Amino acid sequence: MSEQLSEQELIRRDALTKLRALGIDPFPAAEFPVSHTSEAIKATFVDQPFDVVFAGRLMTFRVMGKASFAVLRDHMGDQQIYIARDEISPGEDKSMYDEVWRHLLHLGDFIGVEGHVFRTRTGEITIHVKKMTVLGKALRPLPVVKTDEQGNVHDAFTDPEQRYRMRYVDLNVNPGVRETFLKRSRIVTAMRVCMTDAGYHEVDTPVLQPIPGGAAARPFETHHNALDMPLYLRIANELYLKRLIVGGFEGVFEFSRNFRNEGMDRTHNPEFTIMELYVAYKDYRWMMGFMEGMLEKVCMAANGSSSATFKENKIHFAAPFKRITMCGSIQEKTGKDVLEMDEPSLRSLCAGNNIHIEPSMGKGKLIDELFSALVQPELIQPTFVCDFPVEMSPLCKKHRDDPRLTERFELFVNGFELANAYSELNDPIDQRERFEAQLELQKRGDDEAMFIDQDFLRALEYGMPPTSGVGIGVDRLVMLLTNNPAIQEVLLFPQMRPEKFD
């Protein structure tokens, strides 16, 4: 079935044909030698005119007799231009410019201009155009947001599903969206600088893995035809990074795209970005201090302050962060020491607090459910939740003071987890036993339980020094620092159901 074109789309395609009939290529291949961005023009101009070559998308224009004003938008902002028909440079076909400018250009088209910068009587820094070039014809109109005399906004491009599907439109018509992703870039850069300045090395590890390890999550599975074997998209890069510590690196980190075949909501997307860092000869207490310092610097890079506003809360990232224990915080809410309770007692405690649980859940997951329901929502300011039960942490070293616990913390901010860190388990015998316990959970139907990675166990048997590791959810960090309550707002192309085309 052929596509039904709107009236506006038909007008633009007719203009495309007419441009070509005039000998104008609406999609030229040659380089257009831009000399200044819109930001550079405003920063450079004082009172002395100077020549510029500028390009951008046509956002507004108004024709006034033989003169016209318009606004072009580049990646740095908006720039006003002025075109006078009789002042086009000698040798140019003025009638062609008249025809093109008045009838064949539309909002959304890309054009390039050459001329000089001046200030209008109203004080607007403007380009006086001497030559114009069509650089790219837009065959669909951008949404035009209108505001009436009462201040009511009409035709705004605000539907979330459309915005996420057509981010290329969203970025053009909703200026705040671009700023979110510019901040995201600054956040990642600041994190990278902190770690490289500390002497740690950025590395790459496999996305396709024969065994999905490093986290308790359901993986995506695929098949490698040449090897005739299943492969999994990584759920974490932890086990590969720790292999590098075994190999002699003292500190390694990676910004990795991870994939988990799980539900989607305002804080979860099946494809997401994690930064994982592993440093030899350190423990989880040292990592808390490193995280405090890094996150304060990252907040400064994003917002120029050590604080960020998220919804109605002002979040303070200046060190030190509050520190509590997982089991102690549950005991404060319930009066019960969950470490002393067996599985049936934990199930009863969950039921008494109206917490839904599954038959496949073991002691660790039951404690996690209690914490998630009773404690987590109240953790607004950055809080290190420390010392998790051993059943919840199959890759973590047992606590030096209590073997029922592990040396682990999770960082919570505004009620959700931002980071997860351990004193890493480097005892290969203990690690094998933990993997085998996870295998038993698999048999009970826990599809998030970990696989046994025999090669990783072999690596540990060659010896790994004491090591601290952390994983930070980059998308969630960006959410916090840009005041976006949905993860889809900080992903350029979040996962969506397939769109149906007629």
**DSSP readout, 267-295?**
TB-SEEEEEEEEEET--HHHHHHHHHHHH
Q: Is 411 exposed, middle or buried (0-12, 13-18, 19+ CB in 10 A)?
A: buried
Q: How many helices (H) and strands (E) does the chain have?
A: 14, 20
Q: Which amino acid is located at 236 in the chain?
A: A
408, 393 contact by CB (below 8 A): yes
Higher local confidence (pLDDT), 410 or 22: 410
Residue 236 CA, chain-centre distance (Å), reads 17
Region 200-228 average pLDDT: 92
Region 455-463 average pLDDT: 95
Region 26-34 average pLDDT: 95
> Residue 32: pLDDT above 60?
yes
Q: Where are the alpha helices (DSSP H) in 148-273?
A: 160-165, 167-173, 175-197, 238-246
Q: What pLDDT shows up at residue 149?
A: 66
Rounded to whole angstroms, the Cα distance separating 358 from 351 reads: 11
Q: What pLDDT shows up at residue 1?
A: 43
Confidence band of 63 (pLDDT split at 50, 70, 90): confident
Q: Which amino acid is located at 212 in the chain?
A: P
In terms of Cα–Cα distance, which of 258, 269, 169, 170 is closest to 486? Answer: 269
Higher local confidence (pLDDT), 287 or 66: 287
Q: Where are the alpha helices (DSSP H) in 65-159?
A: 94-99
291, 413 contact by CB (below 8 A): no
Region 148-160 average pLDDT: 71
Gyration radius of the chain's alpha carbons: 29
Q: Which amino acid is located at 416 in the chain?
A: F
Q: What pLDDT shows up at residue 271?
A: 94
> Residue 272: pLDDT above 70?
yes
Q: What pLDDT shows up at residue 20?
A: 94
For residue 115, what is the enclosing H or E element?
Answer: strand 110-119
Q: For residue range 470-495, list pLDDT tens digits in order.
A: 999 999 999 999 999 999 999 999 99
> Could you please report the per-residue DSSP string of 222-238?
EEETTTTEEEEE-S--H
In terms of Cα–Cα distance, which of 500, 482, 473 is closest to 269? Answer: 473
Q: What pLDDT shows up at residue 153?
A: 58
Q: For residue range 398-424, list pLDDT tens digits in order.
A: 999 999 999 999 999 999 999 999 999
User: What percent of the chain has a predicted confidence (pLDDT) above 90?
Assistant: 75
> Residue 91: pLDDT above 60?
no
Region 105-129 average pLDDT: 95
Rounded to whole angstroms, the Cα distance separating 211 from 361 reads: 23
In terms of Cα–Cα distance, which of 233, 275, 280 is closest to 254? Answer: 275
Confidence band of 438 (pLDDT split at 50, 70, 90): confident
In order of start, what are the domains of the chain with their CATH numbers? 7-136 (2.40.50.140), 175-321+381-490 (3.30.930.10)
Rounded to whole angstroms, the Cα distance separating 93 from 85 reads: 10
Rounded to whole angstroms, the Cα distance separating 444 from 435 reads: 15
Q: For residue range 181-205, list pLDDT tens digits in order.
A: 999 999 999 999 999 999 999 999 9
Region 233-241 average pLDDT: 94
User: What percent of the chain has a predicted confidence (pLDDT) above 70?
Assistant: 94
Place of tokens 């090669």: 455
Q: Which amino acid is located at 68 in the chain?
A: S
Q: What pLDDT shows up at residue 85?
A: 78
208, 233 contact by CB (below 8 A): yes
Cα separations in angstroms, 412 against 224, 323, 420, 433: 38, 10, 9, 29
Return the axis-axis angle of helices 454-461 and 238-246, rounded to nearest 10°.
20
Region 377-386 average pLDDT: 97
